Amino acid sequence: MQRTAVLPYVQLLKPITWFAPMWAFGCGLISSGLPVWDRWPVIALGVLLCGPLVCGTSQAVNDWFDRHVDAINEPDRPIPSGRIPGRVGLYIAIGWTVLSLAVAWVLGPWVFGAAIFGLALAWAYSAPPFRLKGNGWWGNSAVGLCYEGLPWFTGAAVIAGALPDTRIVLLAVLYSIGAHGIMTLNDFKAVEGDIRMGVRSLPVQLGVAPAARLACAVMAVPQMVVIGLVASWDRPYHAGAVGLLLLAQFVLMARLLKRPRELAPWYNATGTTLYVIGMMVSAFALAPLIGAVELAPLIGAAP
């Protein structure tokens, strides 16, 4: 009985969506190059913040403000089905926001600032008057930044306790830009519904085929820049690995573009997986470079 009562609240927070920001958080940790074995309590709080808290908040906010649309398209969702009654969904979204900020405050000013920014985007994405999700250009940018860039920044800031190195921020931004293309692919599944509801996703604005080509370009170009940067940082093997992953994505993209609406879920399971593996490879490329800089003062001060 208790399990049945709790299930709607778990569904509201959509745990399956937590993986992407937690993975990016891990990339941030690794890219810092700093030892983690003595920082597990802080790291655990950071994972909790990026996944169940901030990402969970975004899902609760989205479900609350989409409750009327979900009553038509997904009536079995927790709020429109009545399993989460009244305004409880809104109260959860507000409470989860406050809890997220409290945890972020404990983790330091840079993490707190990133959390404020991410939560503001989460509310702006779904809630009026901004409702960024109504336009694919703005909505996909907000999601890409919240799922990739801010968690990457948070991971590096948590472990360093300071503003991350510029190179870390640069990689986080580039992979956030690429994630805009991934979000565009997610919009292919609801083109008719978006047209009826007035949602101006990129497949609606541009047409399915042009939107698919744009998504592929937006995913590929930042990775090309990453390859060039990693090579310029004297990490040729890591640059080569990211390059091979991108070449494999090109092969998959060629198939995707033949039938983008049918194959978008397939690409998200294959090409997007290669994309996030490249994120981790890039993080490992930076680790010894950033770690050497951060640890140098400590080594010099050792007796």
pLDDT band at 189 (very low <50, low <70, confident <90, very high): confident
Q: Residue 159 and residue 61: Cα distance in Å, rounded?
A: 29
Q: What CA–CA distance (Å, rounded) separates 87 from 217? A: 42
User: What's residue 36's pLDDT?
Assistant: 84
CA distances from 280 to 27, 64, 113, 153, 238 (A): 6, 34, 24, 14, 10
Residues 96 and 49: beta-carbon distance below 8 Å: no
- One-letter amino acid of 290: I
Report the pLDDT value the prediction gives residue 266, as an integer from 0 to 100: 96
CA distance 128 to 112: 24
pLDDT reported for residue 83: 94
- Is 200 strand, coil or helix? strand
Report whether pLDDT(220) > 90.
yes
The pLDDT assigned to 191 comes to: 82
Q: Is residue 195 part of a domain?
A: yes
- Measured CA to CA in angstroms, residue 133 lies from 60, 106, 173, 199, 201 at distances of 15, 31, 20, 8, 8
Task: For residues 95-103, give the mean pLDDT.
Answer: 98
Q: Is 300 a domain residue?
A: no
pTM, full prediction: 0.92
Examine residue 162 and state whether it is found in any structural domain, yes or no.
Answer: yes
pLDDT for residue 198 is more than 60: yes
Contact by Cβ (8 Å): 69, 75: no
Confidence of residue 38 (pLDDT cuts 50, 70, 90): confident
Distance of CA 160 to the CA centre of its chain: 21
Write the CB contacts of 270 (distance below 8 Å, at least 6 apart in sequence). Answer: 252
Higher pLDDT, 290 or 62: 62
Question: Which pLDDT band, with edges at 50, 70 and 90, does 140 fall under?
Answer: very high
The parent domain of residue 181 ranges over: 2-295
CATH of the domain at 27: 1.10.600
**What are the structure tokens assigned to 142, written together?**
């907000």
Residue 146 contacts residue 121 (beta carbons within 8 Å): yes
The candidate with the shortest Cα–Cα distance to 172, out of 21, 44, 47, 15, is 21
- Count CB atoms within 10 A of the CB of residue 25: 24
- Among residues 94, 183, 104, 172, the alpha carbon closest in space to that of 142 is found at 183
Distance separating alpha carbons of residues 271 and 249, to the nearest angstrom? 5
Helix, coil or strand: residue 135? strand
Q: Is there a contact between 38 and 75 (Cβ–Cβ < 8 Å)?
A: no
34 has a pLDDT exceeding 80: yes
What's the total number of domains in the chain?
1
What's the average model confidence in pLDDT over 225-239?
97
- pLDDT band of 2, cuts 50, 70, 90: low
Identify the weakest region by mean pLDDT among 39-43, 68-72, 150-154, 207-211: 68-72
Average pLDDT in the chain: 92
In a domain, 301, yes or no: no
pLDDT in tens, 248-293: 999 999 999 999 999 999 999 999 999 999 999 999 999 998 875 5
Residue 302 resides in a domain:
no
In the block, residue with structure tokens 């336009």: 135
